[in-house]
Amino acid sequence: MYMASAIDPTAPATSIRPVLSAVKTLTLADEFCPLKPSKAFRYQMTSTKAMELGTPAVFAATWLTMMAAMMLPGAAPAVGRAAAATGRVLTVPIFAGTYLAVWSAVGLLVYAVYLPHGAAATGIVAIAAGIYELTPLKHACRERCRHTVRSGAQFGIYCVGSSVGLMAMLVAVDVMSMAWCVVIGALITAQKLLPPRAYVDVPVGLGIVGLGLGMLA
């Protein structure tokens, strides 16, 4: 009864033109366009990223703090060697600062490319990280991390090459997890301070691959 009275077929055409105009406007609106995500969907994706990583400022502060806690302990011998080679006290803060600057650049890249993901993507990243642990490139970069280098930036580049697989796994699993940061940080520090040993490194790499396979199961 209500619908019948609301749309009267005998009503003048001019009385329903506003309704037709409104329907046309909604149909052509961005939210109803099937060729691209709606504004609401795009906002949801942005807010989901912000909820997982925080705002850019919060993430930058958190990342820098994590890198200082995770990376500087293993870099201490390299900082000491650089200071001894130059004989200057300023070598220590300059070396450490440029080293952390490299990891800060990595953090900017992480925030730029990060997308919300599920267990399958995390498992794939973990498998790739485990395989990388067994590659010649990983071995070469790890050896460089234990030698005297010219600058903190150079040392940072080598250490990124050594730790990129483990850090990718950390980002995929939960970069904001304190527990995972402690585990990954301890492993990275041990790899910087201790020489490579196949009877240790191979089981670690295979264990990470197994963890990734478990996430896919």
Residue 10 included in any domain: no
Residue 119 included in any domain: yes
Low-confidence ranges of the chain (pLDDT < 50): 1-16, 18-20, 22-47
pLDDT at res. 102 = 96
Residue 19 included in any domain: no
Count of domains forming the chain: 1
pLDDT at res. 206 = 96
Q: In 3D, which of 137, 16, 158 has the Cα closest to residue 78?
A: 158
Query: How would you label 66-92 residue by residue, b for 16+ Cβ within 10 Å and e otherwise?
Result: bbeebbeebbeebbebbbeeeeeeebb
- Which tokens belong to 73? 């302990």
How many angstroms separate the CA atoms of 185 and 91, rounded? 24
pLDDT at res. 146 = 81
How many angstroms separate the CA atoms of 174 and 58, rounded? 16
pLDDT at res. 217 = 81
Residue 26 included in any domain: no
Residue 178 included in any domain: yes
pLDDT at res. 38 = 39
Beta-carbon contacts of 27 under 8 Å, excluding residues fewer than 6 positions away, are none
Residue 118 included in any domain: yes
pLDDT at res. 29 = 44
* Amino acid at position 37, single letter: P
Q: Answer yes or no: pTM beyond 0.75.
A: no
- Report pLDDT digits (tens) over 146-202: 887 889 999 999 999 999 999 999 999 988 889 999 999 999 999 999 999 999 999
How many angstroms separate the CA atoms of 163 and 170, rounded? 11
How many angstroms separate the CA atoms of 208 and 129, rounded? 7
How many angstroms separate the CA atoms of 112 and 63, rounded? 13
Residue 25 included in any domain: no
Domain that holds residue 152: 51-216
